[in-house]
Amino acid sequence: MSYVDEILEQVKAKNAHEPEFIQAVTEVLTSLRPAIERDEEKYRKEAILERIVEPERIVTFRVPWVDDKGQAQVNRGYRVQFNSAIGPYKGGLRLHPSVNQSILKFLGFEQVFKNSLTGLPIGGGKGGSDFDPKGKSDREIMAFCQSFMTELYKYIGKDTDVPAGDIGVGAREIGYLYGQYKRLTGLYEGVLTGKGLAYGGSLVRTEATGYGLLYITNEMLKSHGDTMEGKTIVVSGSGNVATYAIEKAYQLGGKPVTCCDSTGWIYDPEGIDVALLKEVKEVKRARLTEYAAARPSAQYHEGRGVWTIPCDIALPCATQNELNLDDAKTLVANGCKVVAEGANMPTTLEATEYLQANGILFLPGKASNAGGVATSALEMSQNSERLSWTREEVDAKLKDIMVNIYHNLDDTAKEYGVEGNYVVGANIAGFKKVVNAMLAQGIV
Ligand code: NDP
Ligand code: 2IT
């Protein structure tokens, strides 16, 4: 049996109850085959694959807090410290009732390769809790965040592990988490990214994932002799990534016509009104029915359905496995040409294969959503030198990073004889740097 197949079998047997983790490992290891085969004996002897699929450390802890009725509540907190070969663990915190070890291990695993692709010195990690922020008061959010940090602070630090936001964690939560870290440790340091501008945050971090997604998609179009001009764009999600993807899509000449949340979706043939979307989601923290009520051109539907709208470009920006094989077939049948992932692993394995087999230009999330964590690393640099860069400076660096990622993927795919396969390009390019660092550092 090949080394890759042997490790895939092991991962499936050892983590049988972790479907998302198995899915992420299957995608990565399968596409690493040509790189592994070039040096199989050495990798086997050094147990490179066994080590790369095993997190360096996972901590899980109890998070007790008191709700507004005086009732004590308990959630489960986690931090997965996956790989620190090329830098301190870096990756977001997710607060969502679906959070479990499988989801955080898949996210941490993806983060290792993504962070490597940014070219910046950051290892991979992820954390979070099964806490549901929906419908909670500000005081309840603060109580939860303070309790969560009271355990987490023991395991993180500006040079060891630097968390940030993800689903359910934005500026408000980062603020409460930072305040509690500072109170517990007495340290005013860049231990979290995505901070407010008044206390060490970086300009453009809020926008970075969505903007980066559009920068890399634009570069891919340019390399294929095309532009964003006049393209109809279908977006899922209505959170941080989706909102700023929509904003940048307009700036590049495209027309985003959909968005969604977990209860329903909007089709707005005149184009999504970004200012209204921000008002509904960032200020009021309301449902998309409020968007529809304020916008005569918008159609609101319950459930899921954005992928049924004919488009040139599809940008899944909500959550894992939100674009399945049926959706992929619908997109292709409707003439879609490009799928670029803003979320982490939003496309199922079967859907990805179908899209690629049908000539769709497909950008995997670990490359196309790397702008967020890249800008987090720029925030870490600014914190270290105790300076703040201008918006233009950060934005220019972000754009450069995304353009470089595209060409790294493209060149790597060509080098391995699979031109245009950006999944293989991303996985091999991300893997190479991490593995070189692991080999140099010995068996640790
Ligand atoms: P937000 O919490 O800001 O927004 C998430 C959006 O996705 C909301 O519209 C939410 O709807 C929807 N959503 C979440 N879970 C589900 C679900 N189970 N079913 C249907 N809809 C769902 O998160 P972000 O925008 O930050 O994150 C979106 C994706 O992007 C995630 O995959 C995340 O890992 C990834 N990502 C985020 C980065 C960042 O910098 N924030 C960086 C790179 C990737 P509702 O409000 O109804 O739950
Ligand atoms: O998935 C991701 O890359 C993020 N949620 C951002 C992580 C970060 O450290 O900025």
Residue whose CA lies nearest to ligand 1 atom number 27: 167
Tell me what pLDDT residue 262 has: 97
pTM above 0.95, yes or no: yes
CA 183 to CA 181: how far, in whole Å? 5
Question: Do residues 67 and 126 both lie within one domain?
Answer: yes
Question: Do residues 233 and 361 both lie within one domain?
Answer: yes
- How many structural domains compose the chain? 3
Q: Is residue 219 part of a domain?
A: yes
Q: Is residue 396 part of a domain?
A: no
Is the Cβ–Cβ distance between 309 and 258 less than 8 Å? yes
Q: Last residue of some domain: 54, 78, 96? A: 54
Q: Is residue 266 part of a domain?
A: yes
Question: Do residues 159 and 271 both lie within one domain?
Answer: no
Cα(372) to centroid(ligand 2), Å = 6
Q: Each residue of 385-413: b (16+ CB within 10 Å) or e? A: eeebbeeeebbebbbebbbebbebbbebb
Cα(146) to centroid(ligand 2), Å = 21
The atom number, within ligand 2, closest to the CA of 166 reads: 5
Residue 126 is among the residues annotated as catalytic for this protein: yes
Q: Is residue 439 part of a domain?
A: no
CATH classification of the domain holding 124: 3.40.50.10860
Q: Is residue 376 part of a domain?
A: no
Tell me what pLDDT residue 319 has: 98
Q: Last residue of some domain: 349, 368, 387? A: 368
Tell me what pLDDT residue 205 has: 98
Q: Is residue 250 part of a domain?
A: yes
The atom number, within ligand 1, closest to the CA of 168 reads: 2
The atom number, within ligand 1, closest to the CA of 237 reads: 9
Q: Last residue of some domain: 324, 343, 368? A: 368
Tell me what pLDDT residue 406 has: 99
Residue whose CA lies nearest to ligand 1 atom number 2: 167
Q: Each residue of 151-189: b (16+ CB within 10 Å) or e? A: bbbebbbeeebbbbbbbbbbbbbbbbbbebbbeeeeeeb
Question: Do residues 260 and 361 both lie within one domain?
Answer: yes
Question: Do residues 73 and 44 both lie within one domain?
Answer: no
Tell me what pLDDT residue 21 has: 98
Residue whose CA lies nearest to ligand 2 atom number 9: 91
Question: Do residues 338 and 214 both lie within one domain?
Answer: yes
Given the residues 126, 231, 248, 397, select the one marked as catalytic: 126
Q: Is residue 111 part of a domain?
A: yes
- Ligand 1 site residues, Cβ closer than 6 angstroms: 96, 98, 165-168, 209, 237-242, 261-263, 317-319, 342-344, 369, 372
Question: Do residues 63 and 128 both lie within one domain?
Answer: yes
Is the CB–ligand 2 distance for residue 344 below 6 Å?
yes
Question: Do residues 140 and 82 both lie within one domain?
Answer: yes
The atom number, within ligand 1, closest to the CA of 287 reads: 47
CA 149 to CA 1: how far, in whole Å? 45
Cα(194) to centroid(ligand 2), Å = 9
Radius of gyration of the chain (CA): 21
Q: Which residues of the chain have pLDDT under 50?
A: none
Cα(292) to centroid(ligand 2), Å = 30
CATH classification of the domain holding 237: 3.40.50.720
Cα(7) to centroid(ligand 2), Å = 27
Is the CB–ligand 2 distance for residue 373 below 6 Å?
yes
Tell me what pLDDT residue 322 has: 98
Residues near 271 by Cβ (< 8 Å), separated by ≥ 6? 250, 255, 256, 257
Q: Is residue 373 part of a domain?
A: no
Question: Do residues 239 and 98 both lie within one domain?
Answer: no
Supply the DSSP symbol for 323.
B
Cα(370) to centroid(ligand 2), Å = 8
The atom number, within ligand 1, closest to the CA of 98 reads: 18
- Between strands 264-267 and 258-260, the pairing is antiparallel
Is the CB–ligand 2 distance for residue 317 below 6 Å?
no
Question: Do residues 61 and 162 both lie within one domain?
Answer: yes
- Residue-range definition of the domain harbouring residue 320: 208-368
Is the CB–ligand 2 distance for residue 93 below 6 Å?
no
Residue whose CA lies nearest to ligand 1 atom number 22: 262
| Cα atoms found within 13 Å of the Cα of residue 205, Cβ hemisphere only | 28
Question: Do residues 239 and 252 both lie within one domain?
Answer: yes
Please report where in the chains the tokens 């490179």 appear, as a residue.
48
Question: Do residues 28 and 99 both lie within one domain?
Answer: no
How many Å is the maximal CA-CA distance in the chain? 64
